[in-house]
Amino acid sequence: MLHGDLFIFTKSNPCLMQFNRKILLVPPLVSLFVFSPKNSCAQYPGMATFRAQQNRQFVNQQMQTQMQMMNMRGVQSTMEEFDFEVTLRDSTKTKVTSAIYTDTTTRKRFIVLVDKKYKKSDTNRYKKIYPSQTLDLVCVLIQKNEDNETPGSYLPGKPTDSCWMFKAISGRISAYSYLIFNDTSPINQSYIIGIQLNDGPILKFNEDNLKTMVGQDAKALKLVENKKYIRAITKYNKESEAEN
The predicted-structure confidence for 126-160, as pLDDT tens digits, reads as follows 999 999 999 999 999 876 565 665 666 889 999 99
pLDDT higher than threshold 80 for residue 18: no
Evaluate if pTM is beyond 0.85.
no
Is residue 186 helix, strand or coil? coil
CA separation for the pair 118, 125 (Å, rounded):
5
Contact 110, 130 (CB under 8 A): yes
For the four alpha carbons of 206, 171, 191 and 126, in that order, the dihedral sign comes to: negative
CA separation for the pair 17, 46 (Å, rounded):
46
Percent of the chain with pLDDT over 70: 61
Q: Which residue, 153, 158, 115, is CA-closest to 134?
A: 158
User: Domains of the chain: which residue ranges?
Assistant: 13-69, 73-160, 163-244
- Beginning with the edge strand found earlier in the chain, give each strand of the sheet holding 93-98 in spatial order: 93-98, 82-88, 134-144, 149-159, 164-169, 173-177, 192-197, 202-204
The predicted-structure confidence for 199-234, as pLDDT tens digits, reads as follows 999 999 999 999 999 998 999 999 999 999 999 999
CA separation for the pair 63, 165 (Å, rounded):
27
pLDDT mean across residues, the chain: 77
CA separation for the pair 51, 117 (Å, rounded):
35
